[in-house]
């Protein structure tokens, strides 16, 4: 992990294994690795039931949500399934 957009949940330096089989956010809300115009990002993805739209969120309130995205507008790499963090430093 690199960056502060998912703090306090995820921090720079965290290790986040990804389940590449879970690449359809319509199946389950959660934290995903997505490919956008800005490269790879780790974001919270929510499916808006009944609308077939996706909202991409950062846990850090300093970043604005990206609501009402068409699922075809983002490429989901996989779902973050675990978090590892170094203790002390």
pLDDT digits (tens, 9 = 90+) for 5-15: 999 999 999 99
CA pair distance 13, 4, nearest whole angstrom: 10
3-state secondary structure of 10: coil
Contact 75, 15 (CB under 8 A): no
CA pair distance 47, 50, nearest whole angstrom: 9
Q: What pLDDT is stored for residue 89 in this prediction?
A: 60
Query: Does residue 29 surpass a pLDDT of 80?
Result: yes
CA pair distance 56, 41, nearest whole angstrom: 10
Across the range 7-34, mean pLDDT stands at: 91
Question: What pTM was computed for the model?
Answer: 0.88
CA pair distance 88, 11, nearest whole angstrom: 14
**pLDDT bucket at 51, cuts 50 / 70 / 90:** confident
Across the range 42-62, mean pLDDT stands at: 91
For the chain, the average pLDDT equals: 90
């Amino acid at each position: 992990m690199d960056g502060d957009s998912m703090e306090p949940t995820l921090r720079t330096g965290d290790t986040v294994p990804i389940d590449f089989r879970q690449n359809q956010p319509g199946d389950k809300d959660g934290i995903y690795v997505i490919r956008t115009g800005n490269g790879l990002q780790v974001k919270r993805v929510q499916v808006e039931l009944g609308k077939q739209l996706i909202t991409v969120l950062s846990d850090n309130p300093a970043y604005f949500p990206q609501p009402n995205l068409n699922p075809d507008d983002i490429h989901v790499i996989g779902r973050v399934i675990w978090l590892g963090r170094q203790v002390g430093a």
